[in-house]
Amino acid sequence: MKNNILKIGAVLGITTVLLNSCGPKDNPPLVYFPDMYFPVAYDPLQKAEDAYSKHENTIPSFVKNDGATGLVSVDGTVSQNIDGVVDVNSSKMMKADEYNAGYDASKLIASSPLNPANQAKDIERGKKLFNQVCAACHGEAGDGQGSIVQGGAYAGVPNYKDREVTIGSVHYVLSHGRNAMGSFAGQLNPGDRWRVAMYVMSAFKGGINPAPATTVAATTTAPEATTDAKDKTATK
């Protein structure tokens, strides 16, 4: 009798497990470490949201970056920089006056710090990156009619032909953002930002104007020089 009870209990237990495993998934059981089962892909251009909670995302690296997910390198680490280009203050928060001074100075930069011997190859890579990262808004023709604009989700993207830009100002906006456009320093390394700027000038502005290499170095510190000049004028 006891053996029959055990057999019946075992059969009922196995049947219950089978029915639950094959049943509807409208109310799945509690899952530990849900990211392991349902990974969440963060959009690098939007604020990081916690997919499994209603409270604010408290991941320190996101909080430090005002919730943005396009993060710079971790403190204490060195990112690869095969181009040898140092992008000063690309992730620095700037006040309006400081930003505008830097933008005005960038307009004086007419050449990139990359090796001129690789210009054709750099422009070709810049084209590839532009079509991947920028064309959705700016359009492959640089006319501001990308797929996002044509779909009606966004408007007001300018045509490059109507803008007074230089290779330096395009790089500056890629690095720091401008108006409704955010910084792409988290998506493109310094060398690639220069390549995209080279392609923009080559494809949409009639070509890249050569300039002495010293022009880049001189204008990099222009914001500080402008500030000093104002201070001297004030003292006089």
Q: What angle do CA 190, 191, 192 make, to 5 degrees?
A: 95
In CATH, the number for domain 98-235 is 1.10.760.10
Interval 74-133: pLDDT, tens: 777 766 777 878 776 665 678 889 899 999 999 999 889 999 999 999 999 999 999 999
Residue boundaries of the structural domains of the chain: 98-235
% of the chain residues with pLDDT over 70: 63
Residues contacting 210, CB < 8 A, separation 6+? 110, 111, 116
pLDDT-derived band at 212, boundaries 50, 70, 90: very low
Size of the chain, expressed as the number of residues it contains: 236
More confident residue, 35 or 119: 119
Cα–Cα distance measured from residue 203 to residue 127, given in angstroms and rounded to the nearest whole number: 9
